[in-house]
Amino acid sequence: MRNSEAILVTPGTMKIFDAPVPKPAKNEVLIEVEYVGICGSDVHGFESGPYIPPSDPNQRIGLGHEYAGTVVAVGDEVTDFRVGDRVCAEPGVPDGTCRYCLGGRYNICPDVDFLATQPRYRGALARFITHPSNLVYHLPENMSFIEGALVEPAAVGMHAALAGNARLGKKIVILGSGCIGLMVLQGCKSLGATEIVVVDVMPKRLEMAKKLGATWTVNATKEDTVARCREILSGGADIVFETAGAKVTALQATDIVDRGGNIMIVGTIPEPVPIDFLKINREVTIQTVFRYVNNYPMTIEAISQGRFDVASMVSNVYDFEDVQHAFEESVSNKANIIKGVIKVGGSREPSEKGE
């Protein structure tokens, strides 16, 4: 077996290098990667470099954390997996000992080792990768590797929908219909919600939202978002999901939410947002949502049962050796890309030689 990995050499430049095939530890499995989803955080890293630069300037920076593949070796103490199993994996490895982990909220563990971030910056864009077996999940026979790779962002949507208490009878507005917004939409629908407004500025994304079950869509470039949402719902929303990661949509959320409603901040907003509490001082809850916690099994089941359609969201598929082009296009063609994935399995030999 030969391994290779895509490395962010400098912001804006990805190259593929030879790398050793990692050996699984006693509690790990070795996975041959088939597909990797391109996340918005990967695109940000490609454009600007890692959010938190490594302390070692010689540290290799890998990208990618949404992946699925085939088990090709198992550690001595692994009993739940065999060679040939089709799997996906949670990319974050918590320390398992802090009070958050022990309290069942491992998603907010401060010492989590998350793929493509500190401390190791190990990316999933590699032919072979090791992972702790307790964070690896079997893929049902009717699920493809592409669907397996997209369990990760789907779990974000499922976790947000559960945290916001989405269900039948709730009036919901989702601000932003990028990948995560569309995943939140499907999470809400899988929990029974039927009155869902999705807002965006990109027509192609709104078309996809409609296809995936949005009851109404609002083009924010053509309509007053707040006025139109309140008109559609005959008042405010019970739950507003901010998924765009923008100050303007965060501010709109306080104007759209109804008394006693929930504002769920799912997107990563890079600047401070002033809150006019006089607008929401009728027992409105503002809650941030971070990744997912214990949501993989239910998300896999929802996809397998056809209640969560991730395959239709894939608009662009790239070969591993075209990783540079994949990221360049993800930056330059955001209006037309719903979800990009990179096919790692079956790719040609690496174009660059590592040490």
Classify residue 67: in a domain, yes or no.
Answer: yes
pLDDT at 51: 82
- Cα 120 to Cα 56, 115, 222, 291, 315, distances in angstroms: 10, 8, 45, 19, 31
Tokens (6 digits) for 74: 């198992």
pLDDT at 121: 94
Place of tokens 């369990």: 151
Measure the CA–CA gap between 15 and 324, rounded to whole angstroms: 7
* Domain of residue 239, CATH code: 3.40.50.720
Query: Among positive and negative, which fits the CA dihedral 255, 256, 260, 265?
Result: negative
Neighbours of 352 (CB within 10 A): 13
Classify residue 238: in a domain, yes or no.
Answer: yes
| Amino acid letter for position 9 | V
Same-domain pairing of 26 and 128: yes
pLDDT at 354: 40
Same-domain pairing of 119 and 256: no
Q: Name the domain count of the chain.
A: 2
Classify residue 212: in a domain, yes or no.
Answer: yes
DSSP 220-285: TTTS-HHHHHHHHTTS-EEEEEE-S--HHHHHHHHHHEEEEEEEEE-S---S-----HHHHTTT-E
CA 159 to chain centre: 11
What domain range is 256 assigned to?
157-288
Same-domain pairing of 7 and 140: yes
Q: Dump pLDDT digits (tens) for 79-119.
A: 999 999 999 999 999 999 999 999 999 999 999 999 999 88
Classify residue 252: in a domain, yes or no.
Answer: yes
Classify residue 300: in a domain, yes or no.
Answer: no
Classify residue 170: in a domain, yes or no.
Answer: yes
pLDDT at 355: 37
Global pTM exceeds 0.85: yes
Same-domain pairing of 10 and 141: yes
Classify residue 166: in a domain, yes or no.
Answer: yes
* Domain of residue 51, CATH code: 3.90.180.10
Same-domain pairing of 146 and 162: no
In a structure prediction context, what are the per-residue pLDDT tens digits for the chain, which is 355 residues long?
A: 899 999 999 999 999 999 999 999 999 999 999 999 999 999 999 999 988 888 888 899 999 999 999 999 999 999 999 999 999 999 999 999 999 999 999 999 999 999 999 889 999 999 999 999 999 999 999 999 999 999 999 999 999 999 999 999 999 999 999 999 999 999 999 999 999 999 999 999 999 999 999 999 999 999 999 999 999 999 999 999 999 999 999 999 999 999 999 999 999 999 999 999 999 999 999 999 999 999 999 999 999 999 999 999 999 999 999 999 999 999 999 989 999 999 999 644 344 434 3
Q: In terms of DSSP H, where are the helices of the chain?
A: 40-48, 99-102, 145-149, 151-163, 179-190, 203-211, 225-232, 247-256, 277-280, 296-304, 323-332
For residue 312, give the nearest of 339, 333, 348, 272 by alpha carbon.
339
pLDDT at 57: 84
**Final residue in a domain of this structure, among 288, 305, 327:** 288
Measure the CA–CA gap between 324 and 342, rounded to whole angstroms: 11
